[in-house]
A and B are shown apart, each in its own frame.
Chain A
Amino acid sequence: MLTVQGLDVAYGRAQVLFGVDLEAPAGSLVCVMGRNGVGKTTLLKAVMGVLPVRSGRVHFAGEEITGLKTHERVRRGLGYVPPGHETFPQLTVGENLQVAAEATGRPSQGAVDEALDLFPALPVLLKRRAGFLSGGQQQQLAIARALVGRPKMLLLDEPTEGIQPSIILEIEEAVQRLHRELGLAILLVEQYLELALRLADRFVILDAGEVVRSGDRAELRDPSVHALLSV
């Protein structure tokens, strides 16, 4: 479903990704792992077109999307949750979802209801401004926001980073449900091995901007993998 080939990305003169390849089949949950600063977030931003790529190609759902603008990629079925529980702080929770639903060009109450269904904490907060929610609630809103466009694939960047433990569980369950019950393809950036072991079908480990290891879930237990992730 998503294929990344030989991706080079740079911030000015500082190159961050070097020839990254990645394959995420339909319905799979692929975990992108690695230490801080190895290029995981950059990879997702490049796939979304938020950052320009220097060379390489990105294909999605049978079409090359390397040159498309960000909103065009979203309309083709890529959903993205950036790191750090981002919202539109001055809009209400309901408006946050509405903006995303309307932006896809075919707003549907059904899609909004489905997204809310996943996070029971949200419906009672619909009239609150998003900026006043707790970090965990904002993250749930961020995921719901990415879902109201009914994406074919969801890109999640460290959805549990800095979130209170009780909500981490809810988010993990939601991701499980999206993947197992609804069959959504997911590309998940995650630092924690235990979480990856519970969720991932496949994994890719980045180090210094290159893919140094990839495989299926069973291989995650290999001691050499542990060495690549520990600081």
Chain B
Amino acid sequence: MATLNQLVIGASIGAVLLLIALGLTFTFGQMGVINMAHGEFIMAGAYTAYLLQPLVGTQSVLVALPVAFAVAGVLGLILERLAIRHFYGRPLDTLLLTWGISLVLQQVARDIFGAPNVQVRAPGWLTGGLDLGVRLPYNRVFIMVLAVGCVLAIWLYLTRLRHGRRMRAVMQNRQLAAVSGVATERVDQLTFFIGSGLAGVAGVALTLIGPVGPTLGTNYIVDAFLVVVAGGLGQLRGAVIAAFALGILNSFVEFWVDNGASLAKVVVFAVIIGFLQLRPQGMFVVRTRALS
């Protein structure tokens, strides 16, 4: 019974990681930009939900999802236009730059909202849970459904729509896309908008399972990068499997060991380091003649 409970908690953490990693799959996996400020887009999404609460009332979560997507997306777009695009092809400089920006954004949040955490109240239909022998809290179920929905939406976007196809073309061969007539800069902007927007959605999801603070994103960003690397760069299904594996592993180690929270981190890092020793390219890789 306890085992099943841990499974549910782990899967919902995995779902949050997946939502964050989905955004990174776009900006890091596909464009190769290490954006440390991605975590602050999560925070921005969470504070968006907090700000909307008094305006919209109890159903604010549903309104907050699209609004947070737009807010975080626009933040990402501004960051790309003002800063990151001048550093394409220089990953280490991008890392430093975005880390600095991430600290600035955290301080901005402290100045606006104060250092202490704030709470977003979940709507009534998300409190409580379903008892099926194992208890399924509605908020965690909602997060899982949200993550699965986002994966499906992205998959459809990338494979079925004109803009998604164009995006894949640019990521696979930027120069060839340009000489085929694709406005690659425009595609970069859109990629960044969507990737960052997904971080905002993840932020709203996090308000359902915990308090909101200026360092909210920092707690998740490293794990999310690990998910992307372990899953294989730019690979959607790799990210899905790695996110749930990481979340569940984490929740079980926390449960089995006394004071498990920090030990769980150690175990998870060790497992991933071991895994990457065996498969440095991650779970899935792109295999074609063209790349050999």
> What is the interface of chain A, defined by CB distance below 8 A to chain B?
48, 50, 69-71, 74-75, 80, 82, 86-91, 95-96, 98-100, 102-105, 129-135, 138, 145-146, 149
The residues in B between 34 and 82 inclusive whose CB is less than 8 angstroms from any CB of A are none
Query: Are A82 and B178 in contact (CB-based, < 8 A)?
Result: no
Query: Are A99 and B165 in contact (CB-based, < 8 A)?
Result: yes
Q: CA–CA, A82 to B180, complex, Å?
A: 11
The residues in B between 151 and 183 inclusive whose CB is less than 8 angstroms from any CB of A are 162, 165-166, 168-169, 172-173, 175-183
Query: Are B175 and A82 in contact (CB-based, < 8 A)?
Result: yes
Q: CA–CA, A105 to B181, complex, Å?
A: 9
Total cross-chain contacts (CB, 8 A): 93
> What is the interface of chain B, defined by CB distance below 8 A to chain A?
162, 165-166, 168-169, 172-173, 175-184, 286-291
Q: List 7 A-B contacts (CB under 8 A).
A: A69-B178, A74-B180, A88-B172, A99-B166, A103-B182, A130-B288, A131-B287
Q: CA–CA, A132 to B286, complex, Å?
A: 11
Minimum distance in angstroms from B92 CB to a CB of chain A: 20
Residues of A contacting B183 with CB < 8 Å?
Answer: 69, 71, 103
Residues of A contacting B180 with CB < 8 Å?
Answer: 74, 99-100, 103, 145-146, 149
Query: Are A131 and B290 in contact (CB-based, < 8 A)?
Result: yes
Query: Are B169 and A80 in contact (CB-based, < 8 A)?
Result: no
Q: CA–CA, A102 to B176, complex, Å?
A: 14
With A87-B290, A130-B290 already in contact, the answer to whether A48 and B179 are too (CB < 8 A) is yes
Residues of A contacting B177 with CB < 8 Å?
Answer: 88, 99, 103
Residues of A contacting B166 with CB < 8 Å?
Answer: 99, 102-103
Considering the complex, give the chain A residue whose CB is closest to the CB of B292. A131
Q: CA–CA, A96 to B184, complex, Å?
A: 16
Query: Are B178 and A71 in contact (CB-based, < 8 A)?
Result: yes
Q: CA–CA, A132 to B289, complex, Å?
A: 6
Considering the complex, give the chain A residue whose CB is closest to the CB of B163. A102
Q: Determine which of A90, A100, A138 lies in contact with B181 in the assembled complex, contact meaning CB atoms within 8 Å.
A: A100
Query: Are B165 and A90 in contact (CB-based, < 8 A)?
Result: no
With A130-B290, A131-B290 already in contact, the answer to whether A74 and B179 are too (CB < 8 A) is yes
Q: Determine which of B165, B179, B288 lies in contact with A80 in the assembled complex, contact meaning CB atoms within 8 Å.
A: B179
Q: Determine which of A69, A82, A98, A149 lies in contact with B176 in the assembled complex, contact meaning CB atoms within 8 Å.
A: A82
With A50-B175, A99-B169 already in contact, the answer to whether A71 and B184 are too (CB < 8 A) is yes
Considering the complex, give the chain B residue whose CB is closest to the CB of A151. B181
Residues of A contacting B184 with CB < 8 Å?
Answer: 71
With A82-B175, A103-B182 already in contact, the answer to whether A89 and B291 are too (CB < 8 A) is yes
Residues of A contacting B169 with CB < 8 Å?
Answer: 88, 91, 95-96, 99
Minimum distance in angstroms from A182 CB to a CB of chain B: 20
With A82-B175, A102-B166, A103-B166 already in contact, the answer to whether A89 and B182 are too (CB < 8 A) is no
Q: CA–CA, A36 to B19, complex, Å?
A: 50
Residues of B contacting A86 with CB < 8 Å?
Answer: 173, 176, 290
Query: Are B181 and A71 in contact (CB-based, < 8 A)?
Result: yes
Query: Are A91 and B162 in contact (CB-based, < 8 A)?
Result: no
Query: Are B286 and A89 in contact (CB-based, < 8 A)?
Result: yes
Residues of B contacting A70 with CB < 8 Å?
Answer: 178-179
Residues of A contacting B173 with CB < 8 Å?
Answer: 86-89
Q: Determine which of B165, B176, B288 lies in contact with A131 in the assembled complex, contact meaning CB atoms within 8 Å.
A: B288
Considering the complex, give the chain A residue whose CB is closest to the CB of B288. A131
Minimum distance in angstroms from A61 CB to a CB of chain B: 16
Minimum distance in angstroms from A113 CB to a CB of chain B: 18
Minimum distance in angstroms from A169 CB to a CB of chain B: 22
Residues of B contacting A105 with CB < 8 Å?
Answer: 181
Q: CA–CA, A135 to B288, complex, Å?
A: 12
Considering the complex, give the chain A residue whose CB is closest to the CB of B182. A103
Query: Are B168 and A50 in contact (CB-based, < 8 A)?
Result: no
Query: Are B178 and A89 in contact (CB-based, < 8 A)?
Result: no
Considering the complex, give the chain B residue whose CB is closest to the CB of A142. B176
Considering the complex, give the chain B residue whose CB is closest to the CB of A90. B172
Minimum distance in angstroms from A191 CB to a CB of chain B: 21
Query: Are B168 and A89 in contact (CB-based, < 8 A)?
Result: no
Residues of B contacting A99 with CB < 8 Å?
Answer: 165-166, 169, 177, 180, 182
Minimum distance in angstroms from A219 CB to a CB of chain B: 31
Specify which of A75, A80, A131, A134 lies most central, judged by the most chain B CB atoms within 10 Å of its CB. Answer: A131
Given contacts A74-B180, A103-B166, 12 further A-B pairs with CB under 8 A are: A74-B181, A75-B181, A86-B290, A87-B176, A87-B290, A89-B291, A102-B166, A103-B182, A129-B288, A131-B288, A134-B289, A149-B181
